[in-house]
């Protein structure tokens, strides 16, 4: 049951990405980012007030953590732009490759004060397989 | 084309850093408030960028002209967020990562073939190879953690 729900959540993310890229064609990148975050934010407030009965408080963090919003804009704008040319599935594949590489690098060097996990050479064939898949996609 | 591919790759890197920042926000404010910060800051910042980039002439007409269902993106995002909160404590991280990926790719392939009409057999094979690589790597790193 939870597995199915998670599968569905992944589908929602793909749906969101394709809808955003189409919305961008109508209202531009910042208009799209505004509507996506405004609607999402209002729904989250509704959920917190009506269902979770939680107080809203947004202060009391180190200032640099507020850059979360900047990343939010960057991610929707860039993904909508890429999806227009690449399509959702190819974009997802390349994005995942990026996520895996940067995660391995961050773990290896212990950036952002995460515990250091040296890169395991056994993982090289996995990365090569992913690279092969990406090459195949881009030759198509 | 190479530019878009690089951009997509950078977007993946940025997504990881964004997740780490969001995670730290939730440590300070709790899961819901920590995520709300992202939405509030992004809304205000997008509004400023929209106004400035249009030189103070925002074309409101274009917002009305866009089909209503295109505005459902934010809704799907929140649904995905709420589901992941419910399921994360009940599934292990690797299982939920792989299930999310499978959902994304399956839906992505469906949308690509229905909406964007840009899917081919070779592309499909490539996508499967990438997915296999991710699952394989996930099993390796998980085994490593258990030892």
Are A37 and B79 inside 8 Å of each other by CB?
no
Write down the pLDDT at residue A140: 58
Residue B146 has pLDDT above 70, yes or no: no
Q: Give the C-alpha distances (Å, rounded to integers) separating B67 from A21, B71, B105.
A: 13, 8, 25
Q: Is A87 left (phi over 0), alpha (psi -120 to 50) or beta?
A: left
| A58 against B94, higher pLDDT | A58
pTM (two decimals):
0.89
The pLDDT score that the predictor gives to residue A139 is 75
CB B100 within 8 A of CB A99: no
For residue B43, name the pLDDT band (cuts at 50, 70, 90). Answer: very high
Q: Mean pLDDT, to the nearest integer, of A27-31?
A: 94
Record the tokens describing residue B6, joined without a space.
């690089």
At residue B87 the predicted structure's pLDDT band, cuts being 50, 70 and 90, is: confident
Give pLDDT, residue B90.
82
What is the mean pLDDT of the segment spanning B41-58? 92
User: Which of A98-102, B39-43, B142-146 has the weakest average pLDDT?
Assistant: B142-146
List of residues 6+ apart from A124 with CB closer than 8 A: none
Closest-CA residue of chain B to A81: B4
User: Looking at the complex, does the CB of residue A104 fall below 8 Å from at least one CB of chain B?
Assistant: no
Closest residue to B118, CB basis, from A8, A28, A87: A87
- Computed over every residue of chain A, the mean pLDDT equals 92
Give pLDDT, residue A117: 86
| B51: exposed, middle or buried (Cβ count in 10 Å: 0-12, 13-18, 19+) | middle
Stretch (H or E) spanning B24: helix B2-29
- Give the model's pLDDT for residue A12: 95
B144 pLDDT tier (thresholds 50, 70, 90): low
> B77 contacts in A (CB within 8 Å)?
12-13, 16, 36, 40
Interface touch B99/A48, C-beta < 8 Å:
no
pLDDT score at B55: 86
Calculate ∠ Cα B36-B26-A66, nearest 5°: 60
Give the model's confidence band at B95: pLDDT under 50 very low, under 70 low, under 90 confident, else very high: confident
pLDDT of residue A36: 96
Q: HSE on the CB side for B101, CA within 13 Å?
A: 23
The alpha-carbon gap from A139 to the nearest alpha carbon of chain B, in Å, equals 8
Q: Give the number of other Cβ atoms within 10 Å of residue A50's Cβ.
A: 8
pLDDT, tens digit (0-9, with 9 covering 90-100), for B59-84:
888 898 899 999 999 999 999 988 98
User: What's the pLDDT at A23?
Assistant: 95
Q: How far is A39 from chain B (nearest CA, A)?
A: 6
Predicted interface score ipTM higher than 0.85: yes
Q: What is the mean pLDDT of residues B35-40?
A: 94
Whole-number pLDDT of residue B58: 84
CA distance A32 to A26: 8
C-alpha span between B18 and A135 (Å, rounded): 27
Cβ contact, residue pair A136, B24, below 8 Å: no
Residue B94 confidence (pLDDT) = 77
pLDDT at position A131 is 93
pLDDT tops 90 at residue A82? yes
Grade residue A48 by pLDDT with cuts at 50, 70 and 90: very high
User: What is the pLDDT, as a whole number, of residue B145?
Assistant: 64
Name the pLDDT band for B147 (thresholds 50, 70, 90): low
């Amino acid at each position: 049951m939870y597995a199915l729900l998670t599968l569905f959540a992944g589908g929602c993310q793909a749906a969101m990405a394709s809808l955003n890229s189409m919305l961008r064609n109508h209202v531009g990148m910042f208009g799209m980012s505004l509507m996506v975050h405004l609607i999402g934010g209002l729904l989250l407030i509704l959920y917190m007030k009506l269902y979770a009965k939680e107080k809203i408080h947004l202060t009391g963090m180190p200032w640099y953590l507020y850059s979360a919003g900047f990343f939010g804009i960057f991610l929707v704008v860039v993904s909508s732009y890429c999806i227009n040319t690449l399509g959702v599935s190819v974009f997802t594949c390349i994005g995942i490759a990026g996520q895996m590489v940067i995660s391995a690098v961050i773990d290896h060097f212990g950036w952002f004060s995460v515990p250091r996990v040296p890169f395991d050479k056994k993982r090289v064939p996995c990365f090569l397989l992913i690279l092969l898949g990406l090459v195949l996609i881009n030759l198509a | 084309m190479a530019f878009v591919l690089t951009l997509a790759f950078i977007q993946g890197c940025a997504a990881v850093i964004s997740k780490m920042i969001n995670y730290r926000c939730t440590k300070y404010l709790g899961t819901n408030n920590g995520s709300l910060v992202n939405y509030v800051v992004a809304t205000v910042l997008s509004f400023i960028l929209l106004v400035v980039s249009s030189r103070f002439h925002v074309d409101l007409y274009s917002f009305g002209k866009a089909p209503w269902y295109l505005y459902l993106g934010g809704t799907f995002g929140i649904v995905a967020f709420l589901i992941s909160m419910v399921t994360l404590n009940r599934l292990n991280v690797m299982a939920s990562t792989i299930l999310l990926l499978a959902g994304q790719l399956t839906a992505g392939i469906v949308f690509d073939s229905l909406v964007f009409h840009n899917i081919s057999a070779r592309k499909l094979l490539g996508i499967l190879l990438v997915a296999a690589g991710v699952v394989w790597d996930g099993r390796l790193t998980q085994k490593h953690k258990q030892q």
